[in-house]
Homo-oligomer: A and B are copies of this chain.
């Protein structure tokens, strides 16, 4: 019997690297932003990329992505979602790397990114100012953004990147930044309040004409719509 029978290839292990890449979205300065990092080493030294890293032996891809969030922006407990898995044989110039892309929503003002390891910079970049990214990460980001937009149509997950208390105007601006078009102020109010997970704090925001009311989310009720 031929121990090197090539027909048994399907039962053999290969030497593929498996990684997770993250499109971490945040909202600050009236713009939707995504966290990008600059590589300090080859391949793609000096190029901006989505943060990513190899899956280790004892963790799932979801745990890998969560670990990246913890290491990069010190965020824990944030829900992440799969965008897709990218497996083109030529997508990595050195060796075969299959990656799964995730996206997450965080509050950038709470978490300053810290470049580390093989990175020399990290920043929150406006979505319409993102440069060409290394590998196929421009494609990953485009797909992640589309998944985010689609998700927002069906579940109000955008409230996860608002501060503890906020006005409906601020919430609307987040929505508009994500879906990329303007909304009617009054229709937005009606739709959001119908969800019934917002609590009017009975306080008014100072320094703004009109005296807008401040709201906060009822987390338990928000879960129902997520």
Contacts and interface: CB of A to CB of B under 8 A. Distances in A.
Interface of A: 9-10, 12-18, 53-62, 82, 84-85, 87-89, 95-96, 98, 100, 117
Number of copies: 2
Nearest to A52: B10
A53 B100 contact: no
Contacts of A14: 15-18, 54, 57
Contacts of A87: 18, 55, 60-62, 100
28 contacts: A9-B54, A9-B56, A10-B53, A10-B117, A13-B15, A13-B16, A13-B17, A13-B96, A14-B16, A14-B17, A14-B18, A14-B57, A16-B16, A18-B18, A18-B87, A18-B98, A57-B89, A58-B89, A59-B89, A60-B88, A60-B89, A61-B87, A61-B98, A82-B84, A82-B85, A85-B100, A87-B100, A98-B98
Contacts of A82: 84-85
Nearest to A82: B84
